[in-house]
Structure 1
């Protein structure tokens, strides 16, 4: 089994300011931008990340996982200890102070940003109606179902982890904005829940063998 794992909040996501500010990358070549590096499982220079995230909304945060800027997970040391056990050397950690406007820590945890270096193709895309592929580049565009966004529908996808069963945490390769989603094996998800890691929701994804996509053999599954 496997899961797609996302942070959850009781209401809207907390808002943060950053020191230093997120750097503009408009003048960088595409292959040097943070999004490109992250989307290709490459390490990101530490100076690209802020050193401090300042909570500017009224949230009271006790969570082990916080979304603190550009959809990046900031995780506690408790989470890092579990991830290091299941994916040693395969996650880049960048320390960040997460504080209130008065400079006090938001809670008892210390945090770091994460860059998950594993990027593999596991989704069985054949038959998924809410995706399309650019013929010339092979880039996949994802238009997630509105009912899923409302929490009324499951994703309805299957994973094929043939050859990847030793990978316990990964991002999906070539999946448009789904490329930032965190997928976990059932072993890792069980360890996270056993440790009572807070503020996460787990959507179970069935596993099966992908059928060959004869129309676009270069895309595999």
Structure 2
């Protein structure tokens, strides 16, 4: 099965992915009212002839989730929608201009680990993106990196983290570990985006402890 941009980013594949994203179940805890709402952007782009997902490594100076991998995004401002928030925060954090992003769809919102925030992922395709030309906000972002689809499809890069007796998806890519909510959102997106014959997972092959994951201030 080809993972080429011509296949994965074709109009037919895009429409099929969006339809699947719209069918995702809700990942919210009933009866829990979050204090804040937020959204993140899942930026797709093409690099070296392969489709990539872009991530940020949060600054080690931040109070919350410092040194962890995340998608660009943040809290929603008053009267903002999820798409507007994701695009604004992405431009503020790493310098991707709003007009360069083709929005595909939002995904089902997910509660943060402490239940205080409701996070809505937004999928978008960024045209002509060169990571080297991005300008990260040094107060929030320590590093910008991307992961090609071939890495996600390689079971040797799969693992899990147990949370409340439930294994959560984890992806390995070089020195980075994509886990927690970011890992969960990544997996749910890939289930909708990649052909099922290409994306076969084996998250139980290796487990990681919180102590192994938290010192990720790389």
Fold conserved between structures, TM > 0.5: no
Q: Which has the higher contact order (CA 8 A, sep 6+)?
A: 1
TM-score by length of 2: 0.29
Larger strand proportion of the pair: 2
Tell me the TM-score normalized by structure 1: 0.28
